[in-house]
Amino acid sequence: MRSGGWKGLGAAVAALVMTAGGPALGATSWSLIDVGTLGGPGSYGAAISNSGIVAGCADTAAGPAHAFIYASGEMHDLGEPGSPQSCALAVNNNGVVAGRSDTGEIVIWRASGVTHLGVKGDVGGIDGSGIVVGSMRDGATTTAFRYENGAVMSLGSSNSTATGINARGQIVGTANGHAVLYENGGVHDLGTLGGNGSSARGINDNGQVVGMAADANGQPQLERDWLVTVPQSDGSMIFMIFVAPEADFDRLQPTFEAMVKSVQFR
């Protein structure tokens, strides 16, 4: 792995940012903010932190797109000298950014410099402490990984991905065609809606997972999963996973909650 400095700061950005105001979703008013470009015709917003920092990539006047972050009304060009193209794909509240260079190598941008992870692939997410998860190329397939304290660690076998991480360190993704949870060194299958395949795309701090799964007819449906973890005195963990179609989850959640309260753990 190697580190270097940022290219510099500058200009404005063009993806669109929506800010909300109001006490409830139904009464929310939205403001659409055009954050500009880096001198080229367009830009792409890939991620936004809870603190409102936007990350993505924008066309430059010279042509190739550069990674950027947009914060406090300013865009910062994260492009590196000698790397004509880059894109930021995830950002945390501290402004630490993960993305790809022009070679496909995964990189992390910090105010102190740029870290090259030495692997090519895709970024799934970054948490508040700077842990990055994603998928690294492994021949013709990909392997889910976690990057922490200067080391890239595999999360599972080949044909796997990691697409999200929450504040509790729970990671979700896909392995062998099924949505999975990576936690405490294990890989836990989240199941399907009766079909052969599923995928997890994100997880919030409550352990709720969102993704897609095939039903018994083979038709893909958006699903929402609710993950409940119960730590045991011996250090082990009990998992309960509730899966429902996205359209039915809110209706079924009271039933799920009643089921959790009815379970007695020894």
pTM: 0.74
Closest CA to 75 of 117, 15, 18: 15
79 and 192 assigned to the same domain: no
Q: How far is CA 234 from CA 82, 122, 171, 230, in A?
A: 52, 36, 23, 12
Residues spanned by the domain of 95: 1-123
The residue assigned the tokens 């795309």 is 201
Q: Which one-letter DSSP state was computed for residue 27? A: G
HSE-CB at 128 with a 13 A cutoff on CA atoms is 10
Total count of domains within the chain:
2
Buried b (16+ CB within 10 A) or exposed e, 184-201: eeebbebebbeeebbbbb
pLDDT in tens, the chain (266 residues): 443 433 333 333 345 555 555 555 555 567 788 888 899 888 988 999 989 999 999 999 888 899 999 998 888 899 866 668 999 999 999 999 999 998 999 999 998 889 999 999 999 999 999 999 999 998 889 999 999 999 999 998 889 999 999 999 999 999 999 999 999 889 999 988 888 889 999 999 988 898 988 887 776 666 677 767 666 666 665 666 676 777 777 777 777 777 767 766 55
Answer yes or no: is 131 within a domain: no
Answer yes or no: is 174 within a domain: yes
Of 56, 90, 123, which closes a domain?
123
27 and 100 assigned to the same domain: yes
191 and 113 assigned to the same domain: no
Answer yes or no: is 252 within a domain: yes
**Calpha distance 239→243 (Å, rounded):** 13
177 and 265 assigned to the same domain: yes
Answer yes or no: is 100 within a domain: yes
**Calpha distance 20→27 (Å, rounded):** 10
